[in-house]
A and B are shown apart, each in its own frame.
Chain A
Amino acid sequence: MKQEYKKWLSQFRKGYIELYTLLALENGNSLHGSALLSLFEVNGLKINEGTLYPLLNRMEQNEWLDSSWNIPKTNGHPKREYSISKKGKEILPLLLEAYTLHDQSINKIKDLK
């Protein structure tokens, strides 16, 4: 049961993590993976690196995100920073609309009872 729930949650999360990521970057911010994780956690969404990084990679492949390497001038590791792309900006309202519609559908089905 726990395993099945985990699997479902993992599938379910993928969609809305993509939506949250686009929302987090909508204002033109460039953020690296760890900053996104912290932002989500502060706002009540606890996810781990193993979920986020492959998703960021996939979103970049889909051209929803752009990425660039920020190389520190002194010490520190290079960080891959993500920003929303033109295509990402175009798709965001559609995703939000779909999300709202689903939310409304759930409420309507619940009200039937």
Chain B
Amino acid sequence: MTTRNYLKELERHLEVLSKEKRNNIITELKAVIEEENLDYNSVVERFGDVETLSQLYLEDIPIEKRIVKKVWYKRMRNYLYVFFVFILLFGIFLYIKIQDPFDYSLYNSNTIKKEIKYNWKSLDRFNTINIFQSRVIFYFTNDEKAQYHCKRDDDLLVENEIIKVVQNSCVLILPKESNKIIARQSSITSIKAKQNLDFDLEQSSLEISKNGIEYKYDIQKEESDTSNLVSKESPYLIKLKLYQSQVSYYKY
């Protein structure tokens, strides 16, 4: 045991006092100990053991208050630790949950089917995709038939050449012909599209994976953010009709 430990221990015993009072006491005793170059045994002999000395300093504070404040302080501190650990774990959980399972931009319509062993299903002809509260990744293919895989295993609804994706998470491989994509409260990612696209988004986000492909943008927006987009001269036009939405480039 050292004199430093003695003072630390005393400070801990006095935690019921305000920080200023505690500092004054510790600084005063530290000055005496260092000035007279006292070792631990001499300190105990002259000041008494930590328990006794702290009791003398706390004499005027009612015992219940001492205990209550100590218990309250310790309990509060424990609650805070638990709270921070919970927040941390929740953050990690969210990060894992929200993060894409892999970098979608590493694949194209051909490689995604080979590399990712989903249960791919085919879709009949359609001209509009209507997405509601869903996460959808688009790849584009030269094939005539569209294919898809969704986390929720029920089939996509196709009515009057409109595909409906509702509260689902899907990967869609679309044929090249231009389709209108309508999304409400959804998150969309478009991967390496070498064609014109037409999006109508409300309270949604769109991420565009370029991979060296430049696009010309035709934007109509209201309360929306497209500040990251750079429109270039390009054969590929992306039409964006936005309301309270955000469009940016895809990053894994």
- Could you tell me the distance in whole angstroms from the C-beta of A43 to the nearest C-beta in chain B? 19
Asked whether A54 lies within 8 Å of B53 as measured between CB atoms, the reply is: yes
Q: Which residue of A lies closest to B53 (CB)?
A: A50
Q: Which of A33, A48, A77 is the most central at the interface, judged by chain B CB atoms within 10 Å of its CB?
A: A77
Q: Please name all residues of chain A whose beta carbon is closer than 8 Å to the beta carbon of B27 when the two chains form the complex.
A: 69, 78, 80
Does A102 make an interface contact (CB < 8 A)? no
Does A53 make an interface contact (CB < 8 A)? yes
Per-residue interface assignment for chain B, residues 13 to 51, with 1 indicating a CB less than 8 Å from any chain A CB and 0 otherwise: 000000001001101111110110000000001111000
Q: Please name all residues of chain B whose beta carbon is closer than 8 Å to the beta carbon of A77 when the two chains form the complex.
A: 30-31, 34-35
Which of A34, A48, A69 contacts B47 (CB under 8 A)? A48
Question: Which of B54-62, B80-88, B240-248 forms contacts with chain A?
Answer: B54-62
Does B110 make an interface contact (CB < 8 A)? no
Does A58 make an interface contact (CB < 8 A)? yes
B interface residues, tally (CB under 8 Å): 21
Does A79 make an interface contact (CB < 8 A)? yes
- Could you tell me the distance in whole angstroms from the C-beta of A106 to the nearest C-beta in chain B? 26
Q: Please name all residues of chain A whose beta carbon is closer than 8 Å to the beta carbon of B28 when the two chains form the complex.
A: 33, 53, 79-80
**Interface bin, chain A:** 10 to 19
Complex Cα distance, B34 from A77, in Å, reads 8
Q: Which of A34, A57, A67, A76 is the most central at the interface, judged by chain B CB atoms within 10 Å of its CB?
A: A57
Q: Please name all residues of chain A whose beta carbon is closer than 8 Å to the beta carbon of B35 when the two chains form the complex.
A: 34, 76-77
Q: Please name all residues of chain A whose beta carbon is closer than 8 Å to the beta carbon of B30 when the two chains form the complex.
A: 77
Asked whether A50 lies within 8 Å of B47 as measured between CB atoms, the reply is: yes
The residues in B between 69 and 102 inclusive whose CB is less than 8 angstroms from any CB of A are: none
Does A49 make an interface contact (CB < 8 A)? yes
Does A61 make an interface contact (CB < 8 A)? yes
Asked whether B52 lies within 8 Å of A50 as measured between CB atoms, the reply is: yes
Q: Which residue of A lies closest to B25 (CB)?
A: A57
Asked whether B31 lies within 8 Å of A79 as measured between CB atoms, the reply is: yes
Asked whether B32 lies within 8 Å of A54 as measured between CB atoms, the reply is: no
Given the known interface contacts A48-B46, A48-B47, A49-B46, the answer about A54 and B31 at a Cβ–Cβ threshold of 8 Å is no
- Could you tell me the distance in whole angstroms from the C-beta of A31 to the nearest C-beta in chain B? 13
Complex Cα distance, B18 from A57, in Å, reads 13
Which of B24, B46, B56, B59 contacts A80 (CB under 8 A)? B24
Which of A34, A67, A76 contacts B32 (CB under 8 A)? A34
Complex Cα distance, B46 from A33, in Å, reads 13
Asked whether A78 lies within 8 Å of B48 as measured between CB atoms, the reply is: no
Asked whether A54 lies within 8 Å of B34 as measured between CB atoms, the reply is: no
Q: Please name all residues of chain A whose beta carbon is closer than 8 Å to the beta carbon of B24 when the two chains form the complex.
A: 67, 80
Which of B21, B46, B56 contacts A54 (CB under 8 A)? B56
The residues in A between 23 and 42 inclusive whose CB is less than 8 angstroms from any CB of B are: 33-34
Asked whether B34 lies within 8 Å of A49 as measured between CB atoms, the reply is: no
Complex Cα distance, B52 from A50, in Å, reads 9
22 cross-chain CB contacts under 8 A: A34-B32, A48-B47, A49-B29, A49-B32, A49-B46, A49-B47, A50-B47, A50-B53, A50-B56, A53-B28, A53-B47, A54-B53, A54-B57, A57-B21, A57-B25, A57-B57, A58-B60, A77-B34, A78-B31, A79-B28, A79-B31, A80-B24
Smallest CB-CB A-B distances: 7 pairs: A77-B31, A54-B56, A50-B48, A50-B47, A80-B28, A49-B46, A54-B57
